[in-house]
Amino acid sequence: MSDLFAASMHGRRTRLAAQACVLHGAALPFEEALLQGVAGIVATAPLRHPVTPGGHVMQVAMSNCGDFGWVSDRRGYRYARLDPQTGQPWPVLPPCFLQVARDAAAAAGFDDYRPDACLINRYAPGTRLSLHQDRDEDDRVAPIVSVSLGLPATFLFGGLARGDKPVRVPPLQGDGVVWGGVDRMRFHGVLPVMPGRHPQLGAQRINLTFRKVR
């Protein structure tokens, strides 16, 4: 674990379940580097609003980097090695992305984490993400590492069944959430993003979600 990240781990953390926790403010020391990485990625793989298999346009705009990118269209949800919009491989994971993801996973008890995909999601004020499971990965034990930048939003962390009542995690801003192992398949979501303006991002929230696909 890097010295800077280790220092940030002295901040507050909240245990959500046996193998799930919030690392409050963990990403703030790396915010500038992460946002520079996002800018470089979306310049090559532009943000877009995917279409669901049912034909609905998603509220969240997204892109990807890493060996795999998550895509959605009328054919279904899946991972692809090529960006269907450009026909090119997804941009590589920037070193700062990998460092933050691996250090956050280690701080949550998951050593030797090697994500091969990062979803970049952009939320405008009022945008939400309904409760869902991340089910498209072959590896359903390695943790999900979620990093929130920009406008705050309330994270919902549910159970292993859709009907389980979720816990409302206070608004995330510069925080990391990690869940894996026995908690890997928990339902989760995001309540509508609060209105406001972030000094660097303006009226938007950027979420980085790291996953181990294969």
What pLDDT, on a 0 to 100 scale, did the predictor assign at position 125? 97
Between CA 57 and CA 143 the distance in angstroms is: 28
What pLDDT, on a 0 to 100 scale, did the predictor assign at position 11? 57
What pLDDT, on a 0 to 100 scale, did the predictor assign at position 12? 83
Residue tagged 């990118």 (tokens)? 69
Domains of the chain: 3-211 (2.60.120.590)
Note the pTM of the prediction, 2 decimals.
0.93
Query: What is the three-class DSSP state of 179?
Result: strand
Token digits for 106? 């280690």
What pLDDT, on a 0 to 100 scale, did the predictor assign at position 170? 85
Stretches where the chain sits below pLDDT 50 are 1-10
Q: Which residues contact 70 (CB under 8 A, 6 or more apart)?
A: 62, 64, 77, 78, 79, 117, 119, 136, 211
Residue 151: exposure state from Cβ atoms within 10 A (0-12, 13-18, ≥19): buried
What pLDDT, on a 0 to 100 scale, did the predictor assign at position 8? 46
